[in-house]
Amino acid sequence: MIATLPFGQTGHRSTRTIFGAAALSRVTQDDADRAMAIVREYGVNHLDVAASYGDAELRLGPWMARHRDDYFLATKTGQRTYREARDEIHRSLERLQTDRIDLIQLHNLAQEEEWVTALGPGGALEAAVEAREAGLVRFIGVTGHGLGIAAMHRRSLERFPFDSVLLPYSYIMMQNPQYAADFEALATVCRARGVAMQTIKAITRAPWDERPDGAPTWYEPLREQDDIDLAAGWVLGRPDVFLNTAGDISLLPRVLDAASRFASPPSDEQLATLLAQREMAPLFA
């Protein structure tokens, strides 16, 4: 089974590996059902989806109708104004076939203009707070990508007491000195305030040279079990973060298998060998 950790100050102990339901964005219901059976097999109790992930909310809906109390359910709104975010939150509730969401997240809040709009008067944050006051959501988080997102999340936490953050974290990304410094500064704030830290892109190999048609991830992932063991093990070796699974449904069993067997982080030598053998490169530059 996969270890659990308090998810910030929410009172929920989430499995350290969270199911990234972006993997369900373009699959059939049968495929989604098989994926959820794997999620249940490994005891994963936290699901992370978004309104913009294709059909993913619709694919989770039948499971929420039957098993809602088994999961901490998180979704995201990418809208920036109050009215649009309010409408999207209500649409997510309908698609997910539930009357409550545990965590609503402001999705990919990385650009200055969007940040100002979303967190300002008449912005998406007001819709999230309103939904919390109405009992439709319990907690509010913020997510993002790119080299500047750790610093931006610190700014977001200065503006509002978000319950969680989500951002990239991998061995190859942390070789960037500025990103590493910004990530550690954010981690310090999160520890002090009890903010949950979710991480993504753990098993990124490199940007695609040429993205294949139908590729479910916008980066090329590691695929071999031994490689995934090392990459996921490095993330899980940091005891205060969660690892969100990849957006490729075929990789779900391998990531969960790696997490279930995790005992200790890999050595620097093992990781250096992995980087060289797989010609790994940073996703963001």
Please list the alpha-helical segments (H only) found in 98-248.
112-119, 124-133, 149-159, 177-193, 225-236
Could you tell me which of 223, 263, 256, 232 has the C-alpha nearest to residue 39? 256
* Amino acid type, 235: V
Kindly report the number of other CB atoms within 10 A of residue 276's CB atom: 9
Q: Report whether 89 contacts 59 (CB < 8 A).
A: no
What DSSP element (H or E) covers 17? strand 17-20
Decide the pairing of beta strands 220-221 and 164-168. unpaired
E strands along 42-178, which residues? 46-48, 72-77, 101-106, 137-143, 164-168
- CATH fold group of domain 4-277: TIM Barrel (3.20.20)
Q: How far apart are CA 51 and CA 11, in angstroms?
A: 25
Kindly report the number of other CB atoms within 10 A of residue 285's CB atom: 7
Q: How far apart are CA 279 and CA 60, in angstroms?
A: 36
Instruction: Give 199's strand partners.
Output: 167, 243
Sequence-separated (6 or more) residues with CB below 8 Å from residue 176: 147, 282
Kindly report the number of other CB atoms within 10 A of residue 71's CB atom: 22
Task: Report the predicted TM-score, pTM, of the whole model to 2 decimal places.
Answer: 0.97
The secondary structure of 179-192 as a DSSP string is: HHHHHHHHHHHHHH
Could you tell me which of 105, 213, 238, 236 has the C-alpha nearest to residue 163? 105
Q: Report whether 205 contacts 221 (CB < 8 A).
A: yes
Task: Provide the residue-wise pLDDT of the chain in tens; the chain has 285 residues.
Answer: 899 999 999 999 999 999 999 999 999 999 999 999 999 999 999 999 999 999 999 999 999 999 999 999 999 999 999 999 999 999 999 999 999 999 999 999 999 999 999 999 999 999 999 999 999 999 999 999 999 999 999 999 999 999 999 999 999 999 999 999 999 999 999 999 999 999 999 999 999 988 888 888 989 999 999 999 999 999 999 999 999 999 999 999 999 999 999 999 999 999 999 999 999 999 887
Domain ranges of the chain: 4-277
